[in-house]
A and B are shown apart, each in its own frame.
Chain A
Amino acid sequence: METHLEKSIREVMNQPQVTGAMCVDSKGLCLISKGTADPAASGYLSEISRCANHVASTNEDSPVTAIEFGKTQILIKRGDNVTTVIYKDKTK
């Protein structure tokens, strides 16, 4: 299972502008993190995504939440059991 997760995260890390990636389980615990993604923030990021789900979600899909900083953008997408977080460097 971890091998599959590692492979997927590596693919994400190879995309342009991506500096970090993380997967978080339904309890807010970090499953895997690479690059600039901070495992200590996993709980807060999953909770932000959960709140965004309450604001705007359809039966088919959950929203992508974006947190914008000066140079960095954090994208959060909540799945059924796993929340995916991607850190991007906007200056690259």
Chain B
Amino acid sequence: MAEELKRSIQEIMKTTPGVRGIVIADRDGVPIIRVNDETVPETVMRPGFLSSVGFATEQSSKLGYGVTNHIISIHERHQIVHFNIPPLILSVIADTECNTGILLTLRNELSDITDAVRTAIQVA
């Protein structure tokens, strides 16, 4: 199943130029599925980094604007969009100059995959 999901993610990555990697992790930051090319820094895949996103999501949800949908961080070489899909965190890593608006549509495009992962986690 994991290989099938990875192939589907790769297909979606091909249709969105500039996307370098997609990681689906659990709330603790443990990567469940990851697809990336060699340009993505290894640090992005570390549970320490991914779990900090979960923490930031929780904290920002306390601002009084409702549940956090996504967090965008734009760096020198890459931009990362983290989607809060409880109990998962979907992270999309792309080039800095990539269109952020299009990256935000990936939440819907990847919804079948995140649903499958969520179901698998809940069964386990």
Contacts and interface: CB of A to CB of B under 8 A. Distances in A.
Interface string B83-115: 000000000000000011111110010000000
A46 interface: yes
A47 B16 CA distance: 12
Contacts of A46: 99, 101
Nearest to B106: A43
Chain A interface residue bracket vs B: 10 to 19
Contacts of B105: 40, 43-44
Interface string B60-101: 000000000000001000000000000000000000000111
Interface in A18-48: 24, 27-30, 40, 42-44, 46-47
Contacts of B100: 27-29, 43
A43 B99 CA distance: 6
Interface of A: 24, 27-30, 40, 42-44, 46-47
A28 B94 CA distance: 14
A29 B103 CA distance: 10
A40 B70 CA distance: 14
Q: Which 10 A-B residue pairings sit nearest by Cβ, starting from the closest?
A: A43-B101, A28-B101, A43-B102, A28-B99, A27-B100, A42-B101, A43-B99, A47-B99, A29-B101, A28-B100
Contacts of B102: 28, 43-44, 47
A44 B100 CA distance: 10
Contacts of B101: 24, 27-30, 42-44, 46-47
Nearest to A44: B102
Given A40-B108, A44-B105, A47-B99, 12 more contacts: A24-B101, A27-B99, A27-B100, A27-B101, A28-B101, A40-B104, A40-B105, A42-B101, A43-B102, A43-B103, A43-B104, A46-B99
A82 to B, nearest CB: 13
B75 to A, nearest CB: 14
23 contacts: A27-B74, A27-B99, A27-B100, A27-B101, A28-B101, A28-B102, A29-B100, A29-B101, A29-B104, A30-B101, A40-B104, A40-B105, A42-B101, A43-B99, A43-B100, A43-B103, A43-B104, A44-B101, A44-B102, A44-B105, A46-B99, A47-B101, A47-B102
